Amino acid sequence: MKVAIAGYGNLGRGVEAAVSAAPDMELSAIFTRRAPDSLKPATDCPVLPYSSIADHAAELDVVVLCGGSATDLPTQTPELASLVNVVDSFDTHAKIPEHFAAVDAAAQAAGTIGIISCGWDPGLFSLARVYAGAALPSGADYTFWGRGVSQGHSDAIRRIRGVVDARQYTVPVPQAMERVRAGEQPELSTRDKHTRECFVVAEEGADLAAIEEAIVTMPNYFADYDTTVTFISQEELNREHAGLPHGGSVIRSGALGLEGEFDTTIEFSLKLESNPYFTGSVLTAAARAAVRLFEDGQTGARTMLDIPPALLSPLSAEELRAHLL
Amino acid sequence: MKVAIAGYGNLGRGVEAAVSAAPDMELSAIFTRRAPDSLKPATDCPVLPYSSIADHAAELDVVVLCGGSATDLPTQTPELASLVNVVDSFDTHAKIPEHFAAVDAAAQAAGTIGIISCGWDPGLFSLARVYAGAALPSGADYTFWGRGVSQGHSDAIRRIRGVVDARQYTVPVPQAMERVRAGEQPELSTRDKHTRECFVVAEEGADLAAIEEAIVTMPNYFADYDTTVTFISQEELNREHAGLPHGGSVIRSGALGLEGEFDTTIEFSLKLESNPYFTGSVLTAAARAAVRLFEDGQTGARTMLDIPPALLSPLSAEELRAHLL
């Protein structure tokens, strides 16, 4: 399968590594809106201007979009789906139905496949919620994220006056997870489930108390959480907080039996040293499924909930039945 | 959907409860090879002779087979697949390809769908292995079972001379699980991964030392494990060990990145107060998928690895995208 990447940030690097490792894939091109010469890919893959994708679409089996959900993907995914099979990691939950419809229209018209919202949440966590809900219809779902870096929250801190750099960790509350695992089905507020840890580099002479106050009271991002702020040097930030780890757990707890007499708990969890490399690896598996669905004559938009699991694996259905079932 | 059950033991009872709770299903009949009058179903579902299934097949959307893998399912599943859509929990791993081929031939010829090997292992654990393998191609899989009752091992103990009754628990070794979760990718022997706890009721005057020796040295079942044997009274067995709990974890640990620089761990785990009721609930979700595949005009054998996850849920694809993705 000839695979291309559109957009070369952390996620694009993750896809580059995953495609390079896949026995059934070849990385054909990286498309960028920046000057192609300015990119230094980790492999010897050619870098081409984003505007030239249409010229290359016929040689490609699938393009993995690695842009952001806020402004890139809403236009890029339908646009490219009208040329070639595509996969994206669109993660603005509230806008998924709208994005699905736009990609579906473009892909149906062009006879291509577009798989949206691949990754781990949405993605593997969504799958965990659907399987657990089907297997345990009477119960409650809990999703815990972290400990991991939230880039959106880190960016929000960086926009505060006097802040030079910042890293924000989302941290699940262990006591809340234990109550859920014990089958208590507790009612948990936002504050009960996660805390937020902020490591901040301030300008020299900045008003640290004012920065801290601006963070902990910020609506939507921090006001509803117990938030801690620690001021550190740029050197320490670079040394101790350079990574983008993440993870979390989807837990469903409920009961089976005519009288609800059998307690049941289902948990799916991830521990990731690199959020973008893992997301990139899931996108790559989804790209394989996109090509297989296309070769099967199917068209239109899909999510991971619509894809037979076997299509994600490089192994054949026979091999999976013999060895992994 | 009109659903019938073939075979009414613990698993059949689990399916009965799950179908009764499903908003889109109606339990039409329980078929049994025993005298229908001798059964006391937990619901008011009619009980009919197994031999009459052919007469009722046209009124049914799907039959859930609840017999055993050793002798019932290898003949029953292909036989019934030639009449109606079927779902089974065939779990003899080594014989799955052969069973799949037999069901596929019958279902293709009859224009029906047969989904085999549904449940949690094979079933949800198989799905966890396939998803984790696709998302993390470079790594190692570990499956731990328990703490839970193994009926096969309990039966093996009961066949020893002087044993009246027995319950065997399979118990994962916590230290082994911790090493796997820590990403060590250890080489683990059979003995390293699980221990076996046996609670045995002996005949009065039986040679307890001989029974214990017969258990711990039994090939395939116990010889390769650290096994403990505790003699108890029938009353204590009935009081403390009446349930059929089970569970376990599928853990994949590996690395991502061009240099394998990002450690990654994926875990799926279950804690079940009732193994047969949970298996029955998964079979019921698979029965829903069987009917939907059939209504889509598809035919032949499937496993859970071949089924789009959304088909297992009573919710529509639109509802799933809006709320669970």
pLDDT digits (tens, 9 = 90+) for B107-130: 999 999 999 999 999 999 999 999
Chain A hits for B258, CB-CB cut-off 8 Å, are 16-17, 20-21, 42-43
| CB-CB contact of A23 with A38 (8 Å) | no
* Mean pLDDT within B194-203: 98
Hey, what are B228's tokens? 């403990």
Q: What amino acid is encoded at B103 in this protein?
A: V
How far apart, in whole angstroms, are the C-alpha atoms of residue B166 and residue B201?
6
- Of A17, A93, A131, which is closest to B309 when you measure between CB atoms? A131
Query: CA A112 from chain center: how many Å?
Result: 23
Residue located via tokens 């875990």: B267
Mean pLDDT of the residues in chain B = 97
User: What pLDDT is recorded for position B219?
Assistant: 95
User: What pLDDT is recorded for position A175?
Assistant: 97
pLDDT in tens, B227-255: 999 999 999 999 999 999 999 999 999 99
| CB-CB contact of B186 with B180 (8 Å) | yes
Cα separations (Å) of A314 from A148, A318, B130, B138, B204?
Answer: 29, 12, 10, 12, 58
User: What pLDDT is recorded for position A255?
Assistant: 98
Asked whether the beta carbons of residue A305 and residue B322 sit closer than 8 angstroms, the reply is: no
| CB-CB contact of A112 with A63 (8 Å) | no
Q: What is the DSSP track for B184-215?
A: ------HHHHEEEEEEEEEPTT--HHHHHHHH
pLDDT interval class at A1 (50, 70, 90)? very high
pLDDT interval class at B68 (50, 70, 90)? very high
pLDDT in tens, A260-274: 999 999 999 999 999
User: What pLDDT is recorded for position B303?
Assistant: 98
- Of B133, B256, B271, which is closest to A324 when you measure between CB atoms? B133
User: What pLDDT is recorded for position A235?
Assistant: 98
CB count within 10 Å of CB B209 equals: 9
Question: What percent of chain B has pLDDT above 70?
Answer: 100
Terminal Cα distance for chain A, rounded: 26
User: What pLDDT is recorded for position B275?
Assistant: 98
Asked whether the beta carbons of residue A138 and residue B21 sit closer than 8 angstroms, the reply is: yes
* Mean pLDDT within A215-244: 97
Alpha helix ranges (H) inside chain B: 10-21, 53-56, 72-81, 96-110, 124-135, 151-158, 174-181, 190-193, 208-216, 234-240, 275-295, 317-323
pLDDT interval class at B6 (50, 70, 90)? very high
Q: What amino acid is encoded at A59 in this protein?
A: E
User: What pLDDT is recorded for position A90?
Assistant: 97
- Rounded to a whole number of angstroms, the distance from the CA of B315 to the nearest CA of chain A is 9
Reported ipTM: the value is 0.97
- Rounded to a whole number of angstroms, the distance from the CA of B322 to the nearest CA of chain A is 6
B70 by DSSP, 3-state: which? coil
User: What pLDDT is recorded for position B246?
Assistant: 98
pLDDT in tens, A120-141: 999 999 999 999 999 999 999 9
**Closest by CA position to B275, among listed B250, B238, B302, B248:** B248
Chain B hits for A121, CB-CB cut-off 8 Å, are none
* Mean pLDDT within A48-77: 97
User: What pLDDT is recorded for position B150?
Assistant: 95
User: What pLDDT is recorded for position A197?
Assistant: 98
Total residue count of chain B as it appears in this document? 325
User: What pLDDT is recorded for position B297?
Assistant: 98
B211 Cβ partners below 8 Å, 6+ apart?
B160, B162, B163, B200, B202, B229, B231
Chain A hits for B134, CB-CB cut-off 8 Å, are 282, 285, 288, 309, 312-314
- Rounded to a whole number of angstroms, the distance from the CA of A151 to the nearest CA of chain B is 18
Asked whether the beta carbons of residue A137 and residue B272 sit closer than 8 angstroms, the reply is: no
Question: What percent of chain A has pLDDT above 70?
Answer: 100
